[in-house]
Structure 1
Amino acid sequence: MKNILLAAITLLLGFSSVNAYSDDEAVISIAVVNVTYLLKNAPEAELASQFLKDRFSPREKTLAEEQDKIKKLEEALDANKASWDAEEVLLRTRELRALTRERTRALEDFREELRFARDSALDDVQKGVFQAIEEVRVERKIDIIIQEYVAASQRVDLTPFVLDYLQEKLDSETEQDTDNNKKGE
Structure 2
Amino acid sequence: MWRTISGAAVLGTALLVGSSAWAQEAAVRIGFVNTDRMLREADPAKTAQTKLEQEFSRREKEIDDAGAALKTASERFERESPTMSESQRVTRQRQLMDQDREFQRKRREFQEDLNARKQEELQHILDRANRVVKQVAEAEKYDVILQEAVYINPRLDITDKVLKALNASK
Structure 1 residue aligned with 2:151: 150
CA contact 1:32–1:152 (8 Å) conserved in 2: no
Question: How many angstroms does 1:66 deviate by?
Answer: 0.7
- Cα deviation, 1:103-159, whole Å, max 9, x if unaligned, reads 1111111111111111222111211111110011111222222333623354x4322
TM-score w.r.t. length of structure 1:
0.72
Counterpart of 2:6 in structure 1 is none
Q: Is residue 2:39 matched to residue 1:77?
A: no
Check the 8 A contact 2:133/2:162 in 1, yes or no. Answer: yes
Letter in 1 for 2:34: V
State how many pairs are aligned.
152
Unaligned ranges ≥5, structure 1 = 1-17, 171-185
Indicate the residue corresponding to 2:161 in structure 1: 161
Letter in 2 for 1:34: V
Residues 129 and 166 of structure 1 are in contact (CA less than 8 Å); yes or no, is this contact kept in structure 2?
Answer: yes
Matches of 1:27 and 1:115, distance apart in 2: 45
Cα distance in 2 for residues equivalent to 1:96 and 1:163: 51
Q: After superposition, give the CA deviation of every residue in 1:11-69 in whole Å (9 maximum; x if it has no partner).
A: xxxxxxx9672379836441312233222222111111111111112211111111111
CA contact (8 A) 1:42 1:163 kept: yes
CA RMSD across the alignment: 2.4
Percent identical pairs in the alignment equals: 22
Q: Measured at CA, do residues 95 and 126 of structure 1 come closer, stay the same or move farther in structure 2, by a change above 3 Å? A: same
Q: Conserved in 2, the CA contact under 8 Å of 1:56 and 1:114?
A: yes
Q: TM-score, normalised by structure 2?
A: 0.78
User: Unmatched 5+ residue regions in structure 2?
Assistant: 1-16
Specify the structure having the higher radius of gyration (Cα). 2
